[in-house]
């Protein structure tokens, strides 16, 4: 069980007061006793010296012996000592002597200054036990005055002095003892002691009361401060301490209130910061999850891009093979065009010889005319397809430029990433270089090439059909010359167009070879791009792993912030 400060202060101050009273009483008592003792001892000493002056030392040494018995001088000396005793009020007045024995000394009473026949008188030669009165031995041994106080049931309170009797040679031949009645002194001392005890108890009681009131005055604000501190310990920071005291307790109360205000501000700051930390942590977790999802989406996209690049590489190889086949067909079409040109020359020769049949073949020539028109339209479509190829090349160029720009941006981001992005920067640079060499969109090229092949085939078919109609028209030229002339004109135009077609086919053949070469380079570039994409996917996976750790750390921070907020909520601020 803990003791309060008030009880401790009462105990300590009471102990100090008690000790002070005891010391004061002890000193006062012993000073008084010593003063009375010295006074009575001085009286007894003076009387003893008077007794010594009464004694004739030489006569005493010769006549007062055990062997001499109670002689005249003994009676005379006893009477004188008795008179002195009665005058001075001594209880006893006597002389003593000692004799050496084998075991030490025996101590005897010699002359007792009591009336002869008194029952309290000691007889000549009565022994005394030196252990009971050790100052007797000291007086014989030292030759100095010895004083002692005693209080017994037999003799009551006595103050005894022992004054040695010395011979002319300085030898101690005996002592004179004087017993002064000190019973009244001891009674007074006992009464004085009781009064001192009573006074000490009264002083102690008054002191304890004063100490209690004083400590209550001191401890009351401390108890109030303790109770308020207990409330603070329970989390109540809304208390207000007021004091008008200017002493240390007032300073302590003011300091405690200031500390409480500072603590309240700190708790409020912690509460505000913990709320912000929770919000920031939740926002960080949200953003981290968004980044994580973005990384996952990027990884999926990169995987799709890698798969698309693989397919694109395969398609590029297939297109390259198709272009090789297309080039072979273009070469064959060019040969057919040459043959067709030769056939047209023969037709012109035949029309010269068959002018008589022109009229009869007018209808046939009209049909030839229509077929030739269709051939012209087909050739125009072929020309349009060639233009589409040019546009496609432009589109491919724009795509290459965009790819180059994206590769440049990727190189910049890789440079920001530092050492970890160096490999990606190299890949991005290679992609940029290879993108500049890319010349076509593979799917569009395939469709356009197939269209060119179809139109070329239809053109050849139409021209063959026209050639048949021309043969028929030649048979009719002899009949219808005018119509033949028109047919001849149309045939000349057809020959020129066929030559143009042949020229275009030769040009297209060369371009197809260049496209085939570019496709081969594109396939190589796509393979390198696929490797770069795979490396990028690996980096994204590492980034996703790091983002998972960030999310986990953010969630831990949010949890700690919530725990801190719960701890702060324990305090009552208002």
264 in any annotated domain: no
Same domain, 381 and 499: yes
Domain count, the chain: 2
Confidence class for position 175, pLDDT limits 50, 70, 90: very high
Confidence class for position 83, pLDDT limits 50, 70, 90: very high
pLDDT of residue 417: 79
The domain that contains 39 carries what CATH number?
3.30.450.20
pLDDT of residue 117: 84
Same domain, 416 and 511: yes
Whether 1 shows a pLDDT value over 60: the answer reads no
pLDDT of residue 454: 80
Whether 501 shows a pLDDT value over 70: the answer reads no
250 in any annotated domain: no
pLDDT of residue 526: 64
Same domain, 193 and 290: no
Whether 255 shows a pLDDT value over 50: the answer reads yes
- 170 conformational bin, left if phi > 0, alpha if psi -120 to 50, beta if neither: left
Whether 368 shows a pLDDT value over 70: the answer reads no
Task: Retrieve residue 45's tokens.
Answer: 């000493």
Give me the domain span that covers residue 121: 5-206
With a CB cutoff of 8 Å and minimum separation 6, the contacts of 123 are: 109, 112
Is residue 490 within 8 Å of 325, Cβ to Cβ?
no
Instruction: Please tell me whether residue 60 adopts helix, strand or coil conformation.
Output: helix
pLDDT of residue 477: 60
Q: How far apart are CA 208 and CA 214, in angstroms?
A: 10
Per-residue model confidence as pLDDT tens digits over 392-402: 767 777 887 88
Considering 144, 176, 206, which residue would you say is the last residue of a domain? 206
Q: How far apart are CA 396 and CA 514, in angstroms?
A: 14
The average pLDDT across 446-475 equals 70
Same domain, 201 and 295: no
Least confident of 101-115, 269-283, 321-335: 321-335
The average pLDDT across 525-534 equals 72
Per-residue model confidence as pLDDT tens digits over 194-250: 888 898 889 989 988 998 888 888 787 777 878 878 877 787 877 787 777 787 778
Whether 261 shows a pLDDT value over 80: the answer reads yes
238 in any annotated domain: no
Higher pLDDT, 45 or 521: 45
Confidence class for position 85, pLDDT limits 50, 70, 90: very high
Phi first, then psi, for residue 93 (nearest 5°) are -145, 125
Is residue 158 within 8 Å of 91, Cβ to Cβ?
yes
Instruction: Please tell me whether residue 156 adopts helix, strand or coil conformation.
Output: strand
Confidence class for position 449, pLDDT limits 50, 70, 90: low
Q: How far apart are CA 350 and CA 342, in angstroms?
A: 13
249 in any annotated domain: no
Same domain, 293 and 193: no
516 in any annotated domain: yes
Same domain, 360 and 458: yes
557 in any annotated domain: yes
Cα distance from N-terminal residue to C-terminal residue, the chain:
34
pLDDT of residue 463: 63
Least confident of 97-101, 134-138, 159-163, 230-234: 230-234
Unique residue bearing structure tokens 């310990």: 233
Sign of CA dihedral 419, 421, 427, 430: negative
Is residue 129 within 8 Å of 139, Cβ to Cβ?
no
Unique residue bearing structure tokens 């009573």: 198
Task: Retrieve residue 207's tokens.
Answer: 């002191």
DSSP string, 198-220: HHHHHHHHHHHHHHHHHHHHHHH
Buried b (16+ CB within 10 A) or exposed e, 429-457: bbbbebbeebbbebeebbebbebbbebbe
316 in any annotated domain: yes
Of residues 428, 406, 443, the one with CA closest to residue 531: 428
pTM value surpassing 0.75:
no
Same domain, 101 and 202: yes
Same domain, 487 and 363: yes
257 in any annotated domain: no
The average pLDDT across 492-511 equals 73
Considering 176, 206, 236, which residue would you say is the last residue of a domain? 206
Is residue 178 within 8 Å of 87, Cβ to Cβ?
no
Same domain, 170 and 46: yes
CB neighbours of residue 13 within 10 Å? 17
Confidence class for position 59, pLDDT limits 50, 70, 90: very high
Same domain, 430 and 534: yes
Considering 206, 221, 253, which residue would you say is the last residue of a domain? 206
Of residues 452, 563, 520, 502, the one with CA closest to residue 340: 502
Phi first, then psi, for residue 167 (nearest 5°) are -75, 175
């Amino acid at each position: 069980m803990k003791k309060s400060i008030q009880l401790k202060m009462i105990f300590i101050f009471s102990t100090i007061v008690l000790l002070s009273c005891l010391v004061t009483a002890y000193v006062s008592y012993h000073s008084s006793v010593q003063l009375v003792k010295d006074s009575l001892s001085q009286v007894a000493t003076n009387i003893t010296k008077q007794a010594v002056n009464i004694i004739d030392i030489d006569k005493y040494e010769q006549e007062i012996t055990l062997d001499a018995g109670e002689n005249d001088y003994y009676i005379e000396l006893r009477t004188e000592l008795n008179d002195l005793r009665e005058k001075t009020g001594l209880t006893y007045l006597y002389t003593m002597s000692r004799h050496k024995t084998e075991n030490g000394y025996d101590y005897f009473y010699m002359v007792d200054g009591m009336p002869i026949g008194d029952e309290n008188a000691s007889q000549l030669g009565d022994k005394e036990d030196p252990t009971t009165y050790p100052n007797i031995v000291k007086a014989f041994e030292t030759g100095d005055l010895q004083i002692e106080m005693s209080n017994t049931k037999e003799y009551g309170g006595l103050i005894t002095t022992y004054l040695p009797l010395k011979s002319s040679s300085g030898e101690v031949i005996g002592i004179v003892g004087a017993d002064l009645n000190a019973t009244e002194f001891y009674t007074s001392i006992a009464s004085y002691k009781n009064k001192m005890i009573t006074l000490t108890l009264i002083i102690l009681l008054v002191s304890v009361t004063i100490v209690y009131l004083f400590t209550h005055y001191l401890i009351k604000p401390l108890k109030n401060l303790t109770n308020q501190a207990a409330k603070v310990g329970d989390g109540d920071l809304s208390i207000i301490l007021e004091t008008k005291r200017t002493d240390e307790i007032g300073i302590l109360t003011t300091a405690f209130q200031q500390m409480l205000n500072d603590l309240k501000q700190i708790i409020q700051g912690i509460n505000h910061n913990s709320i912000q930390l929770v919000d920031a942590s939740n926002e960080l977790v949200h953003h981290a999850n968004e980044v994580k999802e973005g990384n996952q989406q990027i990884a999926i996209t990169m995987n799709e891009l890698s798969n698309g690049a693989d397919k694109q590489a395969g398609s590029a190889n297939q297109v390259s093979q198709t272009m090789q086949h297309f080039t072979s067909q273009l070469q064959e079409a060019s040969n057919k065009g040459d043959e067709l040109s030769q056939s047209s020359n023969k037709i012109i020769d035949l029309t010269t010889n068959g002018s008589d049949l022109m009229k009869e073949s007018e209808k046939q020539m009209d049909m030839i005319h229509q077929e030739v028109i269709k051939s012209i339209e087909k050739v125009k479509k072929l020309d349009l397809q060639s233009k589409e190829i040019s546009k496609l090349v432009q589109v491919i160029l724009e795509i290459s430029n965009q790819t180059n720009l994206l590769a440049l941006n990727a190189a910049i981001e890789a440079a920001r990433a530092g050492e970890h992005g160096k490999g990606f920067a190299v890949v991005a640079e290679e992609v940029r270089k290879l993108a500049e060499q890319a010349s076509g969109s593979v799917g569009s090229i395939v469709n356009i090439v197939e269209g060119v092949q179809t139109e070329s085939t239809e053109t050849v078919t139409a021209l063959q059909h026209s050639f048949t109609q021309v043969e028929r028209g030649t048979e009719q030229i002899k009949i219808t010359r005018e119509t033949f002339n028109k047919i001849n004109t149309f045939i000349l135009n057809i020959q020129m167009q066929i030559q143009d077609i042949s020229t275009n086919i030769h040009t297209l053949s060369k371009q197809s070879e260049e496209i085939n070469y570019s496709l081969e380079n594109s396939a190589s570039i796509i393979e390198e791009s696929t490797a770069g994409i795979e490396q990028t996917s690996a980096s994204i996976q590492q980034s996703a792993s790091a983002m998972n750790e960030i999310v986990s750390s953010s969630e831990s921070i949010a949890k700690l912030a919530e725990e801190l907020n719960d701890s702060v909520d324990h305090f009552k601020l208002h």
